[in-house]
Amino acid sequence: MKRPALLLAVALLILSFGLISYRILWLKYPVLPAAPAKVWQFSMNAFVKGGEKVTTVMIGLPSTQKGQLVVEERIHPGTLSFNLLREGPNQIGVWSGVVTQKGDVIGYSSTIQVQPQRPLKAQQPPRLGPYPKNVGESEWQLAARLVENWNPLPPAERLRRIAAALNGSWGASLPNAQDFGAWSALQNTHGRMATALVLLRAAGLPAKAVEGLLLAESVTSSTVTWIEVWTGQEWENLQPEKGEIYQKPLLLLPLTTGGLPVLRTLHGELSEVRWTLNRQIINQWRMKFEIIMRSNRWLDRWSLFRLPEEFQKTFRILMLVPIGALMICVLRNIVGFPTFGIFLPVLMALAFRNTGLAYGLGVFWGVVLIGYVVRRWIDKLRLLLVPRLSVILTLVIICITIFALLGNKFGLRQFMAVGLLPFVILTMTIERFFVIIEEAGPREGLWTAAGSAGVAVVTYGILEIEPLQLTFFVYPELLFAVAALQVLLGRYTGYRLLEIFRFRGFWRS
Amino acid sequence: MMILKTIRRFREVGVLGMNRRNAEYIMRSNPRAFFPLVDDKLKTKQLAEAHQIPTPPLYHVVEHHGDIPTLEKKLDGYHDFVIKPARGTGGSGIVLLTKHTEGDFVKQNGEVVPMKDLAYHISDILSGIYSLEGLEDRAFIEALVHPNTVFDAVTYRGVPDIRIVVYRGVPAMSMVRLPTQASDGKANLHRGAIGVGIDMAEGTTLAGVHRSGVVTHHPDTNKPVTGIRVPHWERMLLMAAKAVDMTGLDYLGVDLVIDQERGPLLLELNARPGLQIQIANQAGLLRRLELIDQAPADVFATPETRVAWVLETFSARPSSTN
């Protein structure tokens, strides 16, 4: 009985390691993946249309500054000529020339290494800049009156009060009706960014307007603006539209500072501007990737690196799901943990990638508990199976919606990400939780719940290991090895660890 | 290490674990196609009758909601009976009733049930409330068992039943399951009933298992559960041995009850019998299954030869196999 399974497992292992050896020995793949570093691949593409005159396009580009190092810059000039300019602290790419009738595509890409921020004790505090241009002296005085009460406070607290005021809540120092009217008029004529800068200047806080991107895996056609404010120790990032201070460590990528727009054109028109940011795991692997892209070897042509980049991310995770399943085999058949459903913990782990572990577990079991209470009550109504499950499903969706709305209200992004939790799984978990408690008692129910959560946490931990993601991505044949282990586990007929405790009655007498 | 020592000890005693039970016995011995025969109690019952294995007399089967209004008339002549869902699991949906006054019934625990509520309950059964997959189900009404008085001192209400694990037609291990207050008169171990091992050769009870701990006395009546001689023992072994022939399943849990007048009756069959029976018997099931596999071929000839072999071979007494 065991022989065929064993032979299959050995065959799968040989296939897996044979392919890996071939890649390492003949295709010269690196043996060990390097440690991950925070590297982002930045790229910008745009379409330029022009006329007969010389068109000039000026675009703010990321530059090496505190906390970030820009390397491997590559320019795609199209038919235009390219020049790099420095304007104050900004790095501006200038494309110029006569654009053909059809228009032209220009582009820029670079690799940005984000370095951990060192404490800036030695840094000179920045000097207070001038008031924004085109805001008159009477407005200066207005702003000074508005922030007067807060001047004795420490800088960080002053910033907090101003942020709140931008959001419309003035607290105890609500200005008189006349000032308030003038203030609203100022906001309407000069915009929130300028008025925020005026207030900060009046409060004696060095600040600068920044335009850039959120540092997250994304493709976007618009930039965001914020204000960097010096609070004596560090730069805080203020969002002037909502009066929100960004929580650290939120990563932002500044493109231009000091009110300079990121995009400027002269005698021409820019369209379809697109910024792409990709979290890159390891530089060394990027080189590997380039080699694979150019190689004509059979295995290289069939590498996952050849997939379009947006699908690669999915496969990085998918490659690890079988390991999660393997974990479940181990925890159920060797340890003996009970779980709800077989692959529920894997799906839970996938959902946790969006919400984070603590919030994910909390929301998950919160919804299950609410569902359980309702399910208990519904039991009295004696509904048929399918309508009953539908009611629970609706309840789950309502819970998720409420969580999302609460999250929005209190600024907890993780609560909004619960929408991506697998709701069908939640529904079935509620039903199974109820049945287990009814049939085998609350102890068994809680024990199964704990088992499921434990397996989900372990699986999540595995899915998040980036070197492992990459190893499987480069060597997908490792899946054969995983399958081999699964086959072997399928023929494990030994005792389960928890069975030993279950049968402890044997030696008590 | 303690764990390794325990594992070695288990191997010596021949404890059967879940993995081995599933892979080596259930998957090998029980073809999936035959499962419906044991998952549906009504089918089991009909099959048993065809093979001359006694079961509680069947009074009536309700298949459609439309049959419910005429039910009262059909139940007219019966003083007491049991209502069961054909595909119910773990004893859920089973109600034991005695006629009280005109049109009303009394449950085991003294609760009065009007005919109207009874109709509701049967309607629930038909809708599949108690069948695990939620499939539509049938309800059947059969004679209430009046248990043999031998277990009266160690039973809290309800009906005690006897589980015999049968492998390749040979009874391997058995226990009697005694209802407790916690189990609400039901004989299911996970509901809190006690399982008491039975010496296969002698038909006398051994120690009991209650919530995975060993007990010698019933928790409600405080009477000892050990040393009780089970009546009709050999007849029950024979019934269990025959039950396997009729289903085509080689690894089976056979559940029997002993009626005061009718003697042993087959209640139901289970294709995935639990492993706690080993604690109740203080003996390993694997050891016995292996002994059965090693038995000479002529042992398997007829149910009678198999039972004879059991009486000769299996005993919980330390002198023989354990």
Question: Residues A277-297, buried b or exposed e (16+ Cβ, 10 A)?
Answer: bbbbbbeebbebbeebeeeee
Judge if B130 and B177 occupy the same domain: no
Whether residues A144 and A250 share a domain: the answer is yes
Enclosing domain of residue B94 = 58-143
List of chain B residues whose C-beta atoms are within 8 Å of the C-beta of residue A502: 212
Do B153 and B262 belong to one domain? yes
Would the CB atoms of B20 and A506 count as touching at under 8 Å?
A: no
Sign (positive or negative) of CA dihedral B312, B315, B319, B322: positive
Q: Are both A59 and A193 inside the same structural domain? A: no
Asked if residue B308 belongs to a domain, the reply is yes
| Residue B178 and residue B191 in contact, taking contact as beta carbons nearer than 8 Å | no
- Kindly report the pTM of this predicted structure: 0.65
A237 and A148 fall within a common domain: yes
B188 min Cα distance to partner chain A (Å): 10
Q: Are A241 and A269 contained in the same domain?
A: no
Kindly state whether residues A466 and A346 are assigned to the same domain: yes
| A495 → closest Cβ in B10, B124, B191 | B10
- For residue A21, the Cα-to-chain-centroid distance in whole angstroms is 35
Question: What CA–CA distance (Å, rounded) separates B86 from B145?
Answer: 17
Whether residues A50 and A164 share a domain: the answer is no
Residues in CB range of B160: below 8 A, 6 or more apart: B147, B151, B154, B176, B177, B178, B179, B187, B257
Q: Verify that B198 and B283 share a domain, yes or no.
A: yes
Strands A90-97 and A55-61: antiparallel
Q: What share of chain A is helix, strand, coil (3-state, %, to 5)?
A: 50, 20, 30
pLDDT tens figures, A133-190: 777 777 778 888 888 778 888 888 888 888 888 777 777 777 777 778 887 887 788 7
Chain A residue numbers touching B214 (CB-CB < 8 A):
505, 508-509
Q: Which residue in the set A490, A499, A509 is minimally distant from B282, CB to CB? A: A509
Are B138 and B159 part of one and the same domain?
no
In a domain, A322, yes or no: yes
Length of chain A, please? 509
Q: Could you tell me if residue A107 is inside a domain?
A: yes
ipTM of the complex: 0.76
Total domains, chain B: 2
Task: Tell whether B245 is covered by a domain.
Answer: yes
Is A24 among the domain residues? Answer: no
Quick check: A20 and A481 in contact, CB under 8 A? Answer: no
**What residues have CB less than 8 Å from B27, skipping those under 6 apart?**
none
Q: Is residue B303 part of a domain?
A: yes
- pLDDT tens readout for residues B95-148: 888 877 777 888 877 788 888 888 888 888 888 777 766 678 899 999 989 988
Contact at CB, A508 and B209, closer than 8 angstroms:
no
- Long-range contact pairs involving B196-199 (C-beta distance under 8 Å, separation at least 24): B196/B154, B196/B225, B196/B226, B196/B228, B196/B280, B197/B173, B197/B277, B197/B280, B197/B281, B197/B282, B197/B283, B197/B316, B198/B162, B198/B174, B198/B230, B198/B233, B198/B281, B199/B315, B199/B316, B199/B317
Query: How many contacts does A have with B, using Cβ atoms within 8 A?
Result: 78
B242 & B113 share domain: no
- Backbone phi and psi for residue B119, each to the nearest 5 degrees, phi listed first: -60, -40
Do A146 and A72 share a domain, yes or no?
no
User: What six digits make up the tokens of A274?
Assistant: 């697109």
> Which residue in A337, A200, A223, A253 sits closest to A65, CA to CA?
A253
Between residues 114 and 133 of chain B, which touch chain A (CB distance below 8 Å)?
120, 124, 127-129
Burial letters for A485-497: b for 16+ Cβ neighbours within 10 Å, e otherwise?
Answer: bbbbbebbbebbe
Please identify, among B143, B167, B186, the residue that sits at the C-terminal boundary of a domain: B143
User: CATH number of the domain that A101 lies in?
Assistant: 2.60.40.2250
Residuewise pLDDT in 10s, chain A (509 residues):
468 888 999 999 999 999 888 888 887 776 665 545 567 888 888 888 877 788 888 888 888 777 677 777 788 887 888 888 888 788 888 888 888 777 888 888 888 877 655 544 445 667 777 777 777 777 778 888 888 778 888 888 888 888 888 777 777 777 777 778 887 887 788 788 888 888 888 888 888 888 888 887 788 888 888 888 888 777 788 888 777 787 765 578 888 888 788 888 888 888 888 888 887 655 455 556 666 666 777 777 777 777 776 777 788 888 888 988 898 888 888 988 888 777 888 888 888 887 788 888 888 888 889 999 999 898 878 777 788 889 999 999 998 888 888 888 887 777 777 666 678 888 888 888 888 887 777 888 888 888 888 888 888 888 888 778 878 888 889 999 999 999 999 888 888 888 888 776 665 44
Tell whether B122 and B156 lie within a shared domain: no
Same structural domain, B188 and B290: yes
Residue A303 resides in a domain: no
Interatomic CA distance for residues B167 and A71, integer angstroms:
73
Domain assignment present for A70: yes
Question: Is residue A45, in this structure, part of any structural domain at all?
Answer: yes
Residues B156 and B241 in one domain: yes
Give the count of domains, chain A.
3
Report the residue of A493, A507, A508, A509 to disrupt the B interface, i.e. the one with the largest count of B CBs within 10 Å. Answer: A493
B residues 249..288 contacting A (CB < 8 A): 275, 278-279, 282
DSSP for B115-137 reads: HHHHHHHHHHHHHTSSBTT----
Residues A330 and A231 in one domain: no
Residue B104: inside a domain: yes
> Which of A385, A499, A506 lies at the smallest CB-CB distance from B13?
A506
Please check whether residues A380 and A465 belong to one and the same domain: yes
Contact B7 A495 (CB under 8 A): yes
Does the beta-carbon distance from B279 to A441 stay under 8 Å? no
A337, part of any domain: yes
A321 occurs within a structural domain: yes
Specify whether B82 is located in the same domain as B131: yes
Q: Chain A: nearest CA to B302, how far in angstroms?
A: 28
B322 in a domain, yes or no?
A: no
Q: Are residues B215 and B161 in the same domain?
A: yes
How much of chain B is helix, strand and coil, in % rounded to 5?
35, 25, 40
Q: Tell whether B42 and B94 lie within a shared domain.
A: no
Whether residues A507 and B9 touch (CB distance < 8 A) is answered with yes
Cα–Cα distance between A138 and A198 in angstroms, integer? 11
What are the tokens at A254? 């500044």
Spatial neighbors of B114 by CB under 8 A, at least 6 apart, are B103, B104, B105
Of B87, B116, B143, which residue sits at a domain end?
Answer: B143
B244: domain CATH number is 3.30.470.20
Q: Please tell me the distance in Å from A349's CA to the nearest CA on chain B.
A: 26
How do residues B18-53 score in pLDDT, each as one tens digit?
889 988 898 888 888 888 888 889 999 999 989 999
Q: Does B213 touch chain A (CB under 8 A)?
A: yes
Range of the domain at A157: 137-257
Which of A494, A499, A508 lies at the smallest CB-CB distance from B214?
Answer: A508
Q: Which residue among B91, B113, B143 closes a domain?
A: B143
Same domain (yes/no): A108, A200: no
Do residue A56 and residue A75 come from a single domain?
yes
- Report the residue from B24, B129, B278 with minimal CB separation from A503: B278
- Of the residues B4, B19, B92, B136, the best mutation for testing chain A's interface (the one with the most A CB atoms within 10 Å of its CB) is B19
Chain A nearest CA to B150, separation (Å)? 26
| Chain B residue nearest residue A381, CA to CA | B124
Whether residue B174 is found in the same domain as residue B129: no
In A88-124, where do the E strands start and end? 90-97, 104-114
Q: Per the domain annotation, does B320 fall within a domain?
A: no
Residues A87 and A146 placed together within one structural domain of the fold? no
A-chain residues within 8 Å CB-CB of B92?
439
The answer to whether the CB atoms of A506 and B278 lie below 8 A apart is yes
